[in-house]
Amino acid sequence: MPNLKEVRNRISSVNSTRQITSAMKLVSAAKLRRAQDAVTKMRPYAEKLQFIMSNVAQSLEGAESPYLVERELKSVTVVLVTSNRGLCGAFNTQVLRRATALLNGELAELHKTGKVQFVCIGKKATAWVLRSGYTLQASHDELYNHLSFSESVKIAESLMAEYRQGNTDKIVFLYNRFLTAASQQVIEETFLPLSPDVQAQEVSTEYIYEPGKAEIIENMIPLTLKTQLFKVVLDSHAAEHGARMTAMHKATDNAGELLKALKLSYNKARQAAITNEILEIVAGAEALNG
């Protein structure tokens, strides 16, 4: 039979943990509402802009924009988007697992020669890259401190400059796309080079350019790319809070079940102790009477 003091200590410990997980669940739920509103408002604009850009790209040549030039793959940059903190279930693990599969799959040859570098957004991604001994090109963990379009633009511009200067031949995003509070989907998305979308090709549209094609393209492509990166970060941010809220909800429920089991164990142990004391008193009384 377990010691009463030990059981009381465990009950106190589990109860404290349950209060913490319950509070974290409420905080994540509040943050999720704001993050979900941001990404649902951003998605239609970003997707429509990307659709138009894919459509326009059909009539463009590589000479008209450096972001349309497809080169032989000699170097690839993988942008890993994770969270800065844990306690969010498999949110970070599934992105890192996909990154590992990518390195062992289609990027295996480049990875062996050290031609795959990582740009990390989120401390969990940065720690994983450094721990694994991979090439870390840049880390932008501070983005979540002041998440805004203006801050994400700086990252987009640095990635665009790397591609424009020929330092990398392809840039790929790996991140969690927000579906619902309880579910996320790991997405592998090509950032550069830009290429025509199959869906856009099926509904091809002729555009009239004003003031001119060159001016429009010069501004439209960078805007599309910057918007794409911001959408990715917002998606991951909302998915993170959804995953954390779900994880804390499950943790709170599990703590509640454990508390019931511990209290039952405590009551049994207490009842057994009381029974033993009664038996000792009765035995002592009988011994005196005898």
- Determine the pLDDT at residue 201: 47
CATH number for position 59:
3.40.1380.10
Rounded-to-integer distance, Cα 253 and Cα 276, Å: 35
Tell me whether residue 223 is in a domain: yes
Rounded-to-integer distance, Cα 257 and Cα 278, Å: 32
275 and 184 together in one domain: no
Tell me whether residue 286 is in a domain: no
Domain of 130 in residue numbering reads as 28-246
Query: Hey, how many other C-beta atoms are within 10 angstroms of the C-beta on 116?
Result: 23
* Residue 10, C-beta contacts closer than 8 angstroms, at least 6 positions apart: 262
Query: Hey, how many other C-beta atoms are within 10 angstroms of the C-beta on 72?
Result: 6
CATH number for position 11:
1.10.287
Rounded-to-integer distance, Cα 246 and Cα 251, Å: 9
85 and 158 together in one domain: yes
Query: Hey, how many other C-beta atoms are within 10 angstroms of the C-beta on 106?
Result: 13
140 and 226 together in one domain: yes
96: its two tokens? 């890192």
Mean of per-residue pLDDT scores for the chain: 87
33 and 93 together in one domain: yes
131 and 241 together in one domain: yes
- Tell me which of 88, 172, 181, 229 is the catalytic residue: 88
pTM of the model: 0.83
- Determine the pLDDT at residue 48: 85
Catalytic residue check, 88: yes
| Residue 175 pLDDT class (50, 70, 90 cuts) | very high
Q: Is the pLDDT of residue 100 over 80?
A: yes
Tell me whether residue 154 is in a domain: yes
225 and 271 together in one domain: no
Tell me if 131 sits within 8 A of 87, measured CB to CB: no
121 and 12 together in one domain: no
| Residue 57 pLDDT class (50, 70, 90 cuts) | low
pLDDT in tens, 146-161: 899 999 999 999 999 9
